[in-house]
Each structure stands twice: as structure tokens, then as C-alpha cells.
Amino acid sequence: MNREQCGDANKKVSPSKPNRRSNSSRNANMHEGNSDAGDGIQRKGSERKEKKEREGIEPRSPRPYVREKDFTDLVYMPRTLTALFIFIVFVLLMIRYYYLPQMGVVANVKLGLAASAFSFIVFGVIHLPDSLLVRPHPFVWRAVLASGVLYVALLSFLLFQNLETVRAIMGLYDPALLEALPERQYAEDCRIFTSSDPYLFIRTACDIFILAHFIGYFVKTLILRDWRFATCVSITFEIIEITLQHALPNFKECWWDHLLLDVLLCNGGGTLLGMFALRRLRAKKYHWVALRNIKGYKGKTRRILGQLGPRSFESYEWNVFHDPKRFMQFLTLLLLISLAEANCFTIKHILQMRPNYHLVILRLALWGLIAMPAIREIYTYINSNNSKMTRLGTTAWVAISALLLETIWIAKLSMEGGYFQEPMPVYIAVPWMCALFLFFVWFVLFFCVVSLRQRQERRGVWYALSNLFFYAGCGCVVAVVMMGMPDLQLGRKRFERFMAPYEHRVLFWRE
């Protein structure tokens, strides 16, 4: 919110202010001999001061209280004492209705941790900084930020516990987590139909995960605000599944599961619906009328429901190939998103949780909520004119730190428990080595040799040569997919026979 919006209710100007303005102008005339830099700074300061005095703007209320002048002020007024009273009453009600003297140690600890988390979230709702998002209300995103900080604290604690202690803690939370669960295999029977079972495809493929994928990529498209970015996330994760299926059997899927169900039907369908929603939001005219000026209950109800939508809409222009810095920023964000999705499967596997276990769903919901303001803050950061003077948003900082701590914790548990230690097959490792080398050569040629004009016009010898390396790298990735699919295995045996005499030299670190 700008300062003009914070002082609409108070537009009285004190009588002494015009004299102060004239004094400041006389003082400005006395310093005409100063340097240009000094004059510029003084003029800006005096202009701000005069504008502030002219419009009668009072000092802005401290963050996180962000107002929307077209909505009722009652909702956006600071209510610290009221919140304190409600918080104490809520804690007393918890003691009255949930705490019993005869409760066991485990139940007492669970209740105490829940009360502690609630206390911090209430504090965060009142005192943590605002996000760039203001709808439906800033306190919602402050609560999300507080939940993210709690998750960072939890991960920091779990990092210093070994696998045995982590299992004991999870067993106290839910004894069912101590029982090993069989991993569901999706590539046992890749036939689409049989004579005895013509509906084999529908029976084996249709489950709750189709809806989960569809909704997930609809939300991802709305968060990223670019269907191309969402499609890159979809394809990248399918490639990651094929690459890591030797370590996590749950990643083994049939070809039609990877290509038809995931990429085209579920992920692609969610992305298309997200594109339609983005076009509607982009074409909509955002003209908000003050609630008190709306006549009739129907109009007021429509305005209140409109609070759930965005106040305004800005399309994201990622401009991936504009310069090497922007390309690396895009690639880093793509890898972070893919890492967050892969962590869901690895955590579930190590902690022996079912896919529909409530902690798995809560983690996905938390990451979905954190991603909304975090992506917005990251986009604002990378698009700032002077990134050296711009701070990364608080929610983005918390999200990145939580993701990195989560990944470190998974790696630590994997080493302690012997998970994911199987060596990468040669038909996966060697094509990836070739692909990374070719992509590196393309990066150097495309951004360091080819000029910006040649990239825009898409012409020139060096531009064509860089494209040759790029598509050669893509061909290596396609080879990984074709040889890696458990039901296709196109060219896998022949490639393994060809690489057998050279495998110990190429993959020398395995010795």
C-alpha cells in the first residue's frame, strides 16, 4: 500500500504547515551553489515533505497492517489487544475441554506442542511482515509465513536426530508408522486391455491420483502464471521419475502412465484449465467500489465474495532466454520446484507413510500455500532493476530454507538407513553425462557467442550451431526416457552390450 492510501481518513492540514513549507522553499533557494547530487537529494526530500503536508498524511501505521480503502476499515484496523484476549480465552478453552489430569505423557506432549504452534501462529498473524499478496486478507499470508517458520524449526530439530530416534518420535505420534508398508508397483502389468479383462486400463489407471495431478497442475499454473513454465515442471518431473526409478521402485510406471495419463491427460488438463483461468483474470477489469457505496445486499454480498479473488492481476513474463542470468534463475527455480515434488515421495518412503496419510496431505497443502507468496516474491526479486539493493521476500527466504533443510534431512536419513544407495544404471548415467556436456556447450554458445540480435532474429551460423548442440542434448534425454521405461526398454540391451568394455572407465567413481 502506498502512503496516499493510509491517510484518506485524515485530510486536515494544520495552520502552521504552510509556513513550514515556505521556510523550506526559502532554505532551498539559499543552497543553489551546492552540487547537483546534493540539490537532487534536497529537492526530493522537500517534495516528499511538501506532498505529505499538502495531503495531510499521518505517519503510516506499522506493518503488517495493510488497508484496502475500498473495503470496511474495521477489518483492517490493528486489533492487538483484542487478539491477545481471544488468544488467552482460546488457550483456557483448550485447558478446559482438551486437557485432563489423567492423560498420558504422549497425549500431554501432543497437546502442548499443538498449543505452542498455535501460540506462534497467533503471534505471527499479528506481528510478522506482510507478503506481497493482500487477498483475501494479509493475516492469512502472515499465518502461512508463521507455519513455514515452524516447519523450518521442526526440520532444524529433526536434522540432529538419527533415524532410530526419528522412528521412535513418529511411533509415539502414530504407532501405525512403525509398520513397514509395501510399495505399490505401477509397472507390473502394462497391457492396456486383455481378452479376459477389456477394462484393464481403466481398472488399473483410474485412481485418486488422477484428480490429484489435475488439481495440482491447475494450482501450479495459477501460481507460476505461465503454461510453459508449468509444462516444463511436468516434463521435468517425469524425467526425474525415470532417472531415479532404480532407487525408488514407486517411480516405475508404464509408458502410457508417463506420457498419456501424467503429461497429457492429468498434468496437461490441469494446465489447460489454469490457462483458461489466467485468461479470464487477465481480461477482467478490476474496478473496486467502496463497500459503503454499494446499494443492496446482493451487491454487497458480491463485493465480499470478490475479496477471495485478486485485487489486481499481473502476468508473469519469465523471459527465460533473455540473458544467462535470467536463464540460470529460471533453471534454479525449476530445480527447486522439482526437488520439492521429489521430496514428497522420498519422505513418504523413508517414514513409511501411505500416500493418503494426513501428514503427507498437510505437507502438500503447506507447500502449496507457501508457494503462492514465495513465487510472487521471487518473481519480483529477479525482475527488480537493482537486485543488489532489493531484498528477497521473507516468505521466499523461509520457503527456500525449508526446502534445503528438508532435502538435507532426507539425505541424512537415507545414508543412515541405507536408502536409495543403488548405483545408477549405465543406460541412465551415460546419456545424462552426454546431455549435460551438450547443454553446457549450448549455454556457452547461445549466451556468450550468439548476440542478442541474432537470438531475437533466430539467424546466423553460431545460432544454428548452438541449436544443434541443444537438440543433441534433448536427444540424449529422450534416450534416457526410451531406455529407462520398464516396459519399453528401447535399445537398452544393445547399449549395455556396447558400454560393457568401457563402463569401468566412464563410471570410474564406482570403483
**Would the pLDDT of 376 be above 70?**
yes
Residue 20, classed as helix, strand or coil, is helix
User: Count of domains in the chain?
Assistant: 2
**Would the pLDDT of 385 be above 80?**
no
Buried b (16+ CB within 10 A) or exposed e, 198-214: eeebeebbeeebeebbb
Taking the C-alpha atoms of residue 183 and residue 47, their distance in angstroms, rounded to an integer, is 68
Query: pLDDT band for position 388 (50/70/90)?
Result: low
Q: Is residue 444 part of a domain?
A: yes
Quote the pLDDT of residue 289. 58
Listed residues 30, 55, 80: the one ending a domain: 55
Q: Is residue 315 part of a domain?
A: no
Pull the grid cell for residue 366: 503447506
Q: How many CB atoms lie within 10 A of CB 128?
A: 23
Taking the C-alpha atoms of residue 278 and residue 191, their distance in angstroms, rounded to an integer, is 38
Q: Is residue 99 part of a domain?
A: no
Q: Is the peptide bond before 324 cis (omega within 30 degrees of 0)?
A: no
Predicted confidence (pLDDT) per residue in 389-419, tens digit: 678 999 999 999 999 999 999 999 999 999 9
Taking the C-alpha atoms of residue 45 and residue 41, their distance in angstroms, rounded to an integer, is 6
Predicted confidence (pLDDT) per residue in 51-64, tens digit: 544 444 444 444 44
Quote the pLDDT of residue 41. 46
Mean pLDDT of 222-235: 94
Q: How many CA atoms lie within 13 A of 442 on its CB side?
A: 19
Residue whose C-alpha is closest to residue 426's, from 246, 229, 289, 293: 246
Query: pLDDT band for position 14 (50/70/90)?
Result: very low
Query: pLDDT band for position 349 (50/70/90)?
Result: very high
**Would the pLDDT of 291 be above 80?**
no
Q: Is the peptide bond before 136 cis (omega within 30 degrees of 0)?
A: yes
Q: Is residue 437 part of a domain?
A: yes
Mean pLDDT of 58-76: 50
Q: Is residue 83 part of a domain?
A: no
Instruction: Give just the sign of the alpha carbon dihedral 471, 476, 477, 479.
Output: positive
Residue, of 198 and 364, whose pLDDT is higher: 364
Contact call for residues 363 and 343 (beta carbons, < 8 A):
no
Residue 322, class by beta-carbon neighbours within 10 Å (0-12 exposed, 13-18 middle, 19+ buried)? middle
Residue 186, classed as helix, strand or coil, is strand
For residue 1, give every residue at least 6 positions away whose Cβ sits within 8 Å of its Cβ, in sequence order, or none: 66, 67, 68, 134
Tell me the residue type at 372.
M
Mean pLDDT of 11-16: 42
Quote the pLDDT of residue 43. 52
Q: Is residue 485 part of a domain?
A: yes
Q: How many CA atoms lie within 13 A of 46 on its CB side?
A: 17
Pull the grid cell for residue 386: 537493482
Pull the grid cell for residue 308: 477471495
Q: How many CB atoms lie within 10 A of CB 278?
A: 19
Q: Is residue 438 part of a domain?
A: yes
**Would the pLDDT of 8 be above 50?**
no
Listed residues 37, 55, 73: the one ending a domain: 55
**How far is residue 317 CA from its own chain's centroid?**
17
Mean pLDDT of 4-31: 43
Residue whose C-alpha is closest to residue 468's, from 436, 495, 442: 442
Please write down the HEC assignment for all residues of 301-361: HHHHHHCCCCCCCCCCCCCCCCCHHHHHHHHHHHHHHHHHHHHHHHHHHHCCCCCCCHHHH
Predicted confidence (pLDDT) per residue in 108-159, tens digit: 999 999 999 999 999 999 999 888 887 777 889 999 999 999 999 999 999 9
Domain that holds residue 488: 426-510
Residue whose C-alpha is closest to residue 260's, from 310, 314, 295, 213: 213
Tell me the residue type at 306.
G
Residue whose C-alpha is closest to residue 248's, from 350, 157, 331, 164: 350
Residue 253, classed as helix, strand or coil, is strand
For residue 203, give every residue at least 6 positions away whose Cβ sits within 8 Å of its Cβ, in sequence order, or none: 197
Quote the pLDDT of residue 501. 92
Determine if residue 148 is left, alpha or beta; phi over 0 gives left, psi from -120 to 50 gives alpha, anything else beta: alpha
Quote the pLDDT of residue 82. 85
Query: pLDDT band for position 290 (50/70/90)?
Result: low
Residue whose C-alpha is closest to residue 256's, from 490, 491, 486: 486
Largest CA distance in the chain: 98
Query: pLDDT band for position 10 (50/70/90)?
Result: very low
Taking the C-alpha atoms of residue 236 and residue 377, their distance in angstroms, rounded to an integer, is 23
Q: Return the minimum-mean-pLDDT range out of 28-42, 78-92, 255-269, 415-429.
A: 28-42
Contact call for residues 417 and 350 (beta carbons, < 8 A):
yes
Contact call for residues 72 and 291 (beta carbons, < 8 A):
yes
Pull the grid cell for residue 242: 525415470
Pull the grid cell for residue 114: 499443538
Mean pLDDT of 12-41: 44
**Average pLDDT value over all residues in the chain:** 82
Q: Is residue 130 part of a domain?
A: no
**Would the pLDDT of 234 be above 90?**
yes
Quote the pLDDT of residue 361. 94
Quote the pLDDT of residue 498. 94
Predicted confidence (pLDDT) per residue in 212-223, tens digit: 999 999 999 999
Best-predicted range by mean pLDDT (91-95, 177-181, 442-446): 442-446
Predicted confidence (pLDDT) per residue in 458-495, tens digit: 888 999 999 999 999 999 999 999 999 998 899 999 99
Mean pLDDT of 319-329: 92
